[in-house]
């Protein structure tokens, strides 16, 4: 399977393609939904969430991986995840993978926001959705790259 550097490169390449596609839809007004909902805020938030997902929320958090080490002192957040799931198990399932990673993070972020005294109802739903879509997409791209590379190595 690809190493962390290759995964980052594939993810960033895919992001550039997605952004190019979205820009095309908006600039040339090809799609009314895109024109209505995509503005510089949602696109910037999407890109940041996607990049954050790429570098910090990789499905390889289920092992002692580069993304796991990137958490530094905060890596304890992912320790249960790493211990509970065996490598390329649930975390690399196209549906359960992103859900389990986002759920783990959502619980922690919600706890931190509550501890910081933020009223969770004040976070606009649209922004939460955009951020989750960005993260989920970065995870899917990782899972698809793992799948394609293992298929190429062992086609039968």
Q: Which residues contribute to the site for Zn ion (CB under 5 A)?
A: 59-60, 146
Q: Which is nearer to Zn ion, 15 or 57 (CB)?
A: 57
CB proximity list for 135: less than 8 A, separation 6 or greater: 49, 50, 52, 53, 57, 98, 101, 102, 105
**Of 2 and 31, which has the nearer Cβ to Zn ion?**
2
- DSSP 8-state code for residue 90: G
CB of 90 to Zn ion, least distance (A): 12
State in angstroms the smallest separation of the CB of 118 from Zn ion. Answer: 33
Nearer to Zn ion, 46 or 62 (CB): 62
**Angle between helical axes of 4-27 and 40-56 (0-180°, round to 10):** 170
> CB 17 → Zn ion: shortest distance, Å?
20
Output 31 or 93, the one with its CB closest to Zn ion.
93
Give me the least distance between CB of 18 and Zn ion, in Å please: 20
């Amino acid at each position: 399977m690809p190493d962390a550097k290759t995964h980052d490169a594939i993810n960033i390449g895919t992001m550039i393609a997605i952004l190019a596609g979205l820009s095309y839809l908006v600039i040339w007004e090809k799609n009314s939904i895109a024109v209505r909902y995509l503005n510089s805020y949602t696109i910037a938030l999407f890109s940041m969430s996607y990049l954050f997902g790429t570098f910090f929320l990789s499905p390889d958090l289920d092992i002692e991986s580069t993304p796991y080490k990137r958490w530094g002192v905060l890596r304890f957040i992912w320790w249960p995840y790493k211990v509970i799931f065996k490598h390329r198990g649930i975390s690399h399932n196209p549906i359960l993978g992103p859900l389990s990673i986002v759920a783990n993070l959502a619980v922690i972020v919600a706890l931190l926001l509550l501890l910081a005294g933020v009223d969770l109802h004040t976070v606009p739903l649209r922004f939460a959705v955009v951020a989750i879509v960005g993260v989920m997409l970065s995870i899917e791209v990782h899972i698809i790259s793992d799948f394609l590379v293992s298929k190429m190595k062992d086609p039968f």
